[in-house]
């Protein structure tokens, strides 16, 4: 650990500190110490003489403690005041510890060791905090992204759809949904296996994502092989055009699906719904309406797009 020694006895103190295995740096006064510390970010113990020109020990303590960037410092203040008034003023200014001259090398050694332990502990806590923050960020990413397909998760849809519903209500604009499901996907898994089924869903998710280009549009995996697409500022004709484009884009992937698939390959069915949101209406009922359109497409033979009135 690095130790900064500032003041009149710096040469003698540096020799002691270096002899105990610390990396020592010396300066002559408080202003030099302040300037040097502007480029330091690692934890450091400071040994500051109370009597220094420019900035005395207490003034430097106060200045350092007021700086948000200088949190990882442990300050030992050296004073010759046996009455204790300088000690009290130094501790009030922000010193962590003090030594009153004359002091023994063993006493200084013990105070340095204590400062090092405290800084090491603080550093460990800081590292743990950053690790926890990184894990929280990672969990947040998992929460908004479906781990298999990479599109939005169900919880992501619930949040974003609610936001878009309120936004379209405020501006009085159309909001459309497309609910899409892979035809005969259970049979696909039974025929080709779960791994192939997962790959199939990844291809379809990518195909959907590539078919919506506006910044406000988004897709989420809703349930199993079912996806849901939110299209703000899109009327019913626009929703039908996008749903049909996705249906065709999936079909031309020519993902083999024999014998259950339609014409020997994987297809999708889709249902759409469009509304100008109203604060008295229920978003859940709108989702149910889009899913009703999907059921109509399924009942009509699959590989189709339907829209309820």
Q: What number of residues does the chain have? A: 309
Pair 293, 189 in one domain: yes
Question: Which residues span the domain enclosing 111?
Answer: 2-136
Gyration radius (Cα) of the chain, Å: 34
> Closest Cα to residue 272, out of 169, 158, 181?
181
| Residue 265 bridge partners (DSSP) | 256, 262
Each residue's pLDDT tens digit, 56-82: 888 888 888 777 555 678 888 888 765
Each residue's pLDDT tens digit, 121-153: 887 887 777 777 766 655 555 578 898 999 999
In the listed set 136, 169, 189, which residue is the last one of a domain according to the structure?
136
Q: Determine how many CB atoms are found less than 10 A away from the CB of residue 149.
A: 21
Q: DSSP strand E in the chain: where? A: 2-6, 23-27, 44-49, 73-79, 97-100, 175-182, 218-223, 226-232, 268-275, 305-307
Residue 126: both structure tokens together? 């800081």
Pair 52, 170 in one domain: no
Pair 98, 236 in one domain: no
pLDDT at residue 224 in the model = 92
Decide if 237 contacts 248 (C-beta within 8 A). Answer: no
In a domain, 217, yes or no: yes
pLDDT at residue 128 in the model = 79
pLDDT exceeds 80 at position 156: yes
Each residue's pLDDT tens digit, 201-247: 999 999 999 999 788 899 999 989 999 999 999 999 999 999 999 99
Pair 257, 294 in one domain: yes
Higher-scoring residue by pLDDT: 172, 38: 172
pLDDT at residue 148 in the model = 93
> What is d(CA 253, CA 31) in angstroms, rounded to the nearest whole number?
71
In a domain, 50, yes or no: yes
Decide if 148 contacts 198 (C-beta within 8 A). Answer: yes
pLDDT exceeds 70 at position 52: yes
Going by pLDDT thresholds of 50, 70 and 90, the confidence category of residue 49 is confident
Pair 188, 300 in one domain: yes
> What is d(CA 75, CA 118) in angstroms, rounded to the nearest whole number?
11
Residue 282: both structure tokens together? 């229920």
DSSP per-residue codes, 247-295: HHHHHTT--B-TTTSBTTB--EEEEEEEE---TTS-HHHHHHHHHHHHH
pLDDT exceeds 80 at position 115: yes
In a domain, 147, yes or no: no
> Closest Cα to residue 92, out of 57, 126, 119?
57
| Residue 231 bridge partners (DSSP) | 176
> Closest Cα to residue 105, out of 19, 4, 6?
19
> What is d(CA 69, CA 39) in angstroms, rounded to the nearest whole number?
10
> What is d(CA 224, CA 208) in angstroms, rounded to the nearest whole number?
15
> Closest Cα to residue 242, out of 299, 174, 169, 300?
174
pLDDT at residue 136 in the model = 61
pLDDT at residue 138 in the model = 55
pLDDT at residue 135 in the model = 62
Tokens 């199939």 belong to which residue? Answer: 200
Pair 200, 66 in one domain: no
Decide if 76 contacts 60 (C-beta within 8 A). Answer: no
Residue 250: both structure tokens together? 């999936």
> Closest Cα to residue 227, out of 287, 187, 169, 307?
287
pLDDT at residue 102 in the model = 80
Going by pLDDT thresholds of 50, 70 and 90, the confidence category of residue 100 is confident
Residue 94: both structure tokens together? 């922000």
Number of domains in the chain: 2
Pair 263, 296 in one domain: yes
The answer, as to whether pTM is greater than 0.85, is: no
Pair 88, 163 in one domain: no
Looking at every residue in the chain, the average pLDDT score rounds to: 87
In the listed set 79, 108, 136, which residue is the last one of a domain according to the structure?
136
């Amino acid at each position: 650990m690095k130790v900064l020694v500032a003041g009149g006895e710096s040469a003698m103190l540096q020799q002691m500190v270096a002899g105990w295995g610390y990396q020592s740096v010396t300066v002559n006064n408080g202003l030099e110490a302040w300037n040097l510390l502007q480029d330091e970010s690692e934890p450091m113990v400071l040994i500051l003489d109370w009597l220094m020109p420019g900035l005395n020990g207490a003034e430097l303590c106060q200045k350092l403690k007021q700086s948000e960037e200088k949190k990882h410092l442990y300050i030992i203040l050296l004073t010759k005041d046996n009455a204790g008034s300088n000690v009290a003023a130094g501790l009030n200014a922000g010193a962590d510890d003090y030594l009153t001259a004359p002091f023994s090398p063993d006493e200084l050694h013990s105070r340095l060791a204590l400062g090092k332990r405290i800084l090491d502990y603080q550093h460990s806590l800081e590292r743990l905090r950053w690790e926890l923050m990184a894990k929280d960020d990672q969990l947040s990413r998992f929460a908004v992204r479906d781990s298999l397909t990479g599109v939005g998760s169900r919880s992501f849809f619930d949040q974003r759809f609610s936001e878009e519903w309120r936004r379209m209500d405020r501006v009085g604009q159309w909001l459309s949904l497309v609910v899409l499901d892979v035809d005969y996907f259970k049979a696909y898994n039974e025929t080709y296996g779960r791994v192939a089924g997962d790959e199939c869903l990844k291809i379809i998710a990518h195909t959907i994502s590539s078919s919506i280009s506006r910044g406000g549009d988004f897709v989420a995996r809703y349930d199993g092989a079912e996806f849901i697409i939110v299209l703000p500022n899109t009327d019913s004709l626009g929703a039908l055009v996008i749903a049909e484009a996705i249906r065709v884009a999936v079909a031309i992937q020519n993902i083999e699906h024999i014998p259950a698939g339609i014409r020997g390959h994987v297809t999708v069915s889709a249902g759409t719904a469009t509304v100008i949101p109203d604060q008295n209406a229920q978003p859940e009922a709108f989702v149910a309406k889009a899913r009703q359109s999907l059921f109509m497409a399924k009942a009509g033979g699959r590989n189709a797009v339907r829209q309820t009135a």
